[in-house]
Chains A and B, each alone.
Chain A
Amino acid sequence: QITLKESGPTLVKPTQTLTLTCTFSGFSLSTSGVGVAWIRQPPSKALEWLAFIYWNDDKRYSPSLKTRLTITKDTSKNQVVLTLANMDPVDTATYFCAYSLRNNYFDPWGQGTLVTVSS
């Protein structure tokens, strides 16, 4: 059974850097074709894809956030880390991580973690 869980701060101040961790089980990020993505959802709004990391360390970023985003993996710890620099109140959202196998669709998802940006 594949499970993912997001962790990190619930509140960050404007201009700070957000660091979120996705801890997963049921698969290895060293297996060919496997990827983990981050997606966010502002309150009562639509989903927005942020970043993707693959088993071979290939990385993809949303162009609108590329200069602020970094995604890394620690295969030994079964973790994927996302950092988002220079946080702003518009970055307030629930952040999800999700699993993908060879097709860039997301299944399953973690439960999500709500991050609020406020001074």
Chain B
Amino acid sequence: EIVLTQSPATLSLSPGERATLSCRASQDISFYLAWYQQRPGQAPRLLIYDAYNRATGIPARFSGSRSGTDFTLTISSLEPEDFAVYYCQQRSTWPLTFGQGTKLEIK
């Protein structure tokens, strides 16, 4: 099973700042990684798929990148609605797995 390790567990930033969230895979998953946002009391929402591609309707301030088994979600300038929990998910190998999440909180 592929383990996804997200860091940091909690990230405290202010609106307007840049956020960088990390997800490391325990083995090569190529670019087969997605990022989801989950606001309190809501279902997750797909933000980025296949490492780089924004899902339909996702603002351009969200971007994804990859370096080997390290993946990054960047939010260029935080809006108030961006404070939420973010999960990564791999589809390279069964079983599908998620990271443990990063909570992005207001500083």
Contacts and interface: CB of A to CB of B under 8 A. Distances in A.
Interface of A: 37, 46-49, 52, 60, 62-64, 96, 103-112
B97 interface: yes
Given A46-B100, A47-B87, A63-B1, A106 B46 contact: yes
B91 A104 contact: yes
A96 B43 CA distance: 8
B95 interface: yes
Contacts of A46: 87, 98-101
Chain B contact residues: over half helix, strand or loop, or mixed?
loop
Nearest to B97: A49
A52 B42 CA distance: 21
Contacts of A111: 42-43
A60 B94 contact: yes
Contact of A49 (B42, B49, B96, B101): B96
Contacts of B45: 107-109
B105 interface: no
B44 interface: yes
A41 to B, nearest CB: 9
Given A47-B44, A112-B43, A103 B96 contact: no
